[in-house]
Amino acid sequence: MPTTKLTLEPQLRQQLNLHLVQQMKLLQLGALELDQYVQEAVEANPLLELPPNGAMENWQETDGREYWRRGGERSREDETAPDPLESAARREKTLQQTLLEQLGCQKLEPLERQLACYIIGTLDGNGWWREDVAATARAFGVEPEAVKKALHRVQQMEPAGVGAENLAQCLELQLAQRPEVPELVHQVVREGLELLGENQIPALAKKFHVTNQAVLAAREIICRLDPKPGARYASAGPVPYQREDVWVETGTKGLTLTVHDTWGGKFVLNQEYLDWGKKQASEQVKSYLKEQLGKARQLQQLLRERQQTLLQVFRALVTHQEPFFRRGPGHKQPLKLADLAEETGLAISTVSRALQHKAVGCKWGCFSAGSFLVGESASQAAGTVTEERLQQLIRQTIQGEDKRHPLSDQAICEALERQGIHTARRTVNKYRVKMGIPAKSGRKEWE
């Protein structure tokens, strides 16, 4: 007969409670997202409110100022930030608004005006029209010629080049307003843009049976044209706005680390609700107020823990990257998540969340926190070279070359070797392309 047997077996399982889940959620929020989260929490909790300007009640929290071996750090309370709505009111006109104003001054048939409005509304950020003429004609139930007529009408508007379907047409529309331009310029735009982009001056001279000097003169005219006539106008949509979560100041005594604490010292309890609740006999009301009080205290604790974690993580990050904050771009040090986790004693996942969606401001500009996690790309006698530093060295080497005889990727690699930087040619090629620097032939200056 089968027998039933009971056994005890120890198991180790990790479970996430609600507090830990909320803690991780708040940790990875940026400053603006945190503002929205807290505002929603205050609106949902009748016991929480923000004090009037200048009034601070008893229940509040500030971290004060703490100093460490490299300088100081403090928790900054809310500062007056630029109002995105005020910025929006001062914005310039969009390309579509500019074109529609011009269209309103023209006498057109209703159908042509409708097609022109559609074309203007579907221009991309460069001012080009990338829709299909035949598809647009079918959508409006008209002949393709009607669409082409409306498109031609838009292409005659300012700025010159708007409504073009490709780069060559965009440049041609601008050249049409300059009748004094030599015919060679039109020929290069129509038939030789690809060679011109590759800096193949002799090949263009041979193709059009002219001298190199004539091609260079045509190139100078073409370079003064605007390939993106719509880019100079304000873009439609919401105003992009970013506020730094951390600010680093450089002083004689060291670095001062400031972590924005918009909400840490601004919560107060609604005393009227508390007094009213004490007078109620209903257990349901008392239970509800007790629950909301617990949520209020939990939110305050979550914000305090978030603040302490950010201070801890960014203190370690700023310490590692002190050369950058003092001397600027090109001086970042190799840094990994594991390094920060080891120094702070936190889990790698916690450090990763603390850096997500965070912006670090300093006198050199505003940078994403993740950009300070830098790998090693080359080696030298004194140690390793970061990706940023290697890119800076490659750029400096190219800037100092003889433009009549530019350096190849192998020559750049050899120049770095003479500086004690050991790297491969393919690494030089990768970072040169990443920085948008042309190859040897594209950098050559022809006479």
State pTM to two decimals.
Answer: 0.59
Hunting for tokens 């401001």 — which residue is that?
361
Give the number of other Cβ atoms within 10 Å of residue 283's Cβ: 8
Q: Can you read off the two tokens belonging to residue 133?
A: 């003429």
Region of residue 247 (left: phi > 0; alpha: psi -120 to 50; beta: else): beta
Judge whether 252 and 185 are in contact, CB under 8 Å: no
User: What letter does residue 94 receive in the DSSP assignment?
Assistant: B
Judge whether 371 and 324 are in contact, CB under 8 Å: no
Nearest C-alpha neighbor of 374 from the set 358, 386, 364: 386
What pLDDT is stored for residue 357 in this prediction? 87
The string over 315-353, giving b where at least 16 C-beta atoms fall within 10 Å of a residue's C-beta and e elsewhere, is bbbbbbbbebbeeeebbbbbbebebbbebbebeeebbbb
Q: Can you read off the two tokens belonging to residue 363?
A: 């006198």
d(CA 420, CA 423): 10
User: What letter does residue 28 receive in the DSSP assignment?
Assistant: T
Q: Report residue 9 CA to chain centroid gap.
A: 52
What pLDDT is stored for residue 398 in this prediction? 87
Hunting for tokens 């047409």 — which residue is that?
169
Angle (nearest 5°) at CA 120 between 115 and 125: 150
Judge whether 100 and 121 are in contact, CB under 8 Å: no
What pLDDT is stored for residue 264 in this prediction? 54
What pLDDT is stored for residue 435 in this prediction? 84
What pLDDT is stored for residue 74 in this prediction? 43
pLDDT averaged per 10 residues, the chain (length 447): 72 69 82 83 80 44 32 42 48 82 86 90 88 89 90 90 90 89 89 86 89 89 89 67 80 81 64 72 79 83 87 90 86 86 89 89 88 70 69 86 84 85 85 84 76
The string over 237-253, giving b where at least 16 C-beta atoms fall within 10 Å of a residue's C-beta and e elsewhere, is eebeeebbbbbbebeee
In this structure, the strands spanning 359-362 and 246-250 are parallel
Hunting for tokens 């992009």 — which residue is that?
240
d(CA 399, CA 392): 10
What angle in degrees, to the nearest 10, is found between the helix axes of 337-344 and 283-320? 110
Q: How many CA atoms lie within 13 A of 267 on its CB side?
A: 28
Could you tell me the CA-to-CA distances from 82 to 50, 79, 241, 242 in Å, in that order? 20, 10, 9, 10
Longest dimension (CA), the chain: 108
Judge whether 319 and 256 are in contact, CB under 8 Å: no
Judge whether 43 and 285 are in contact, CB under 8 Å: no
